[in-house]
Amino acid sequence: MGVQFGDIIPKKEISLKLLRTKSAAIDAMNVIYQFLSSIRLKDGSPLKNRSGEITSTYNGIFYKTIYMLENEITPIWVFDGKSHDLKEKTKEDRRKLRQNALENYLEAKEQDNLENMQKYAKRANFLDKKTIENSKRLLELMGVPYINAPSEGEAQCAELVKSKNASFVVSQDYDSILYGAESVVKNITSSNKSLELIELSKVLTELNVNLLELIDVAILIGTDYNPGGIKGIGPKKAFEVVKKGQMEKYAFEIQNYSEIRKIFDEPNVITDYEIGLKLPRKDELIEFLVEENDFSKERVLPNIEKLDLLLGNKKSQKSLESWF
DNA sequence: CAAGGGAA
DNA sequence: TTCCCTTGC
């Protein structure tokens, strides 16, 4: 979900072309949940293989990866590790929301209410361990790198940008900038929706704060580690408080304030990882998609060939990561 | 969400 | 060619 900065954070529209030749650190969980809620049949049910296991996720990863490579963007998928203890409440809240949605879905189903079935099915996304493991396996077979973050994926994505192993983060949330990522891109899709670029340095200069102050703003509004933030304080007031140097007045009201600040300021990340592209393992890929998960062979084969071609060309060229 | 096919 | 809509598993 992330911090609700609202309209306060400056962003700009960009074209896909601007991202050409760059590497993207993808906040995998964020994107996978999007796949799960949007890749659906008419009745709102997700795609499944013959055993009833959900395959929308694999569909999304497969086609989005190819789409990015086609546009000369190198994806690096970053998966969450173990979340911080302080996130428990947020996780529990989300579980409840999903459970609620599931109950609403079942009720709509009983009433044969297709519209509500679609609506609630999209919110009742339960992701199991096996789906995550298989997602990683799929990327491996495709020859595309992924990283297991020790903790938050968004923090690891930010590390990749900071170390210039990626140029930007792909996520629908802004949180990566709090971890110090210079660039976050929202809405990388093939639809007409415009791409949105958020640049940390622009955010800081335009709002006239430093990163630590921005983190304080986020904590006042509410983060995953202190959901809800301080009652009565939204984005606008939060900036006022921080700019007037009044953070101390509120800090004591926030449980674990300094610990939360540290999560963003000194994120738990790794710096030793493998991000090279390989050639796809075609036969195993066909086996995974077609045999195990019932993708249509007719549709998958040309895409595997495309992937092979794209990666074959790409492996030789290495570009230095930076803007402009 | 992206691909694919048909309409514009 | 571009747009729109349906399908995918």
- Host H or E run for residue A119: helix A114-121
Angle at A105 between CA A102 and CA A111, to 5 degrees: 150
> Which nucleotides on chain B have any atom < 7 A from a protein Cβ?
1-4
Q: What's the whole-number mean pLDDT along residues A115-121?
A: 87
Does the C-beta of A296 come within 7 A of strand C? Answer: yes
A264-307: pLDDT as tens digits: 999 999 999 999 999 999 999 999 999 999 999 999 999 999 99
Average pLDDT, chain A: 92
Does the C-beta of A59 come within 7 A of strand C? Answer: yes
A59-75: pLDDT as tens digits: 999 999 999 999 999 99
- Name every residue whose Cβ is closer than 8 Å to that of residue A99 and which is 6 or more positions away in sequence: A124
Q: Is A27 annotated as a binding residue?
A: yes
Q: Is the pLDDT of residue A249 over 60?
A: yes
The C-alpha torsion from A203 through A90 and A37 to A60, rounded to 10°, is 70
Does the C-beta of A172 come within 7 A of strand B? Answer: no
Q: Is A80 annotated as a binding residue?
A: yes
Q: What's the whole-number mean pLDDT along residues A67-88?
A: 96
Distance A303 CA to C2 C1' (A): 23
Ordered structural domains, chain A, with CATH: 9-207 (3.40.50.1010), 208-264 (1.10.150.20)
Q: Closest nucleotide to A172's CA, by C1' atom?
A: B1
Q: What's the whole-number mean pLDDT along residues A175-179?
A: 95
Residues A318 and A25: their CA atoms lie apart, in Å, by 16
CB half-sphere exposure, A263, CA atoms < 13 A: 24
Highest mean pLDDT among A51-60, A226-235, A240-249: A51-60
Does the C-beta of A189 come within 7 A of strand B? Answer: yes
What pLDDT does residue A1 have? 52
Strand ordering across the sheet containing A74-79: A12-14, A195-199, A183-186, A168-170, A23-27, A74-79, A146-148
SS3 A75: strand
Q: What's the whole-number mean pLDDT along residues A239-263?
A: 93
CA-nearest of A64, A77, A125, A138 to A292 is A138
A206-234: pLDDT as tens digits: 999 999 999 999 999 999 999 999 999 98
Looking at per-residue pLDDT, the higher value among A249 and A4 belongs to A249
Q: Is the pLDDT of residue A136 over 90?
A: yes
Terminal-residue alpha carbon distance, chain A = 31
Distance A254 CA to C3 C1' (A): 51
Q: Is the pLDDT of residue A322 over 70?
A: no
Percent of chain A with pLDDT over 70: 96
Q: In chain A, what is the greatest distance between 2 CA atoms, to the nearest angstrom?
A: 64
Q: Is the pLDDT of residue A315 over 90?
A: no
Residues A272 and A150: their CA atoms lie apart, in Å, by 11
Length of chain A: 324
Q: Closest nucleotide to A188's CA, by C1' atom?
A: B1
Angle at A158 between CA A28 and CA A204, to 5 degrees: 125
C-alpha distances (whole Å) from A75 to each of A145, A305, A318 are 7, 18, 14
Mean pLDDT lowest among A63-72, A182-191, A312-321: A312-321
Residues A160 and A170: their CA atoms lie apart, in Å, by 12
Distance A278 CA to C7 C1' (A): 31
> Which nucleotides on chain C have any atom < 7 A from a protein Cβ?
4, 7-9
Distance A73 CA to B3 C1' (A): 19
CA-nearest of A136, A166, A1, A260 to A157 is A166
CA-nearest of A290, A304, A22 to A160 is A22
- Name every residue whose Cβ is closer than 8 Å to that of residue A269 and which is 6 or more positions away in sequence: A149, A150, A151, A155, A156, A158, A159
What pLDDT does residue A324 have? 41
Q: Is the pLDDT of residue A156 over 80?
A: yes
φ and ψ of A91, to 5 deg: -65, -40
Q: Which residue is nearest to nucleotide B4 (CA to C1')?
A: A299
Q: Is A128 annotated as a binding residue?
A: no
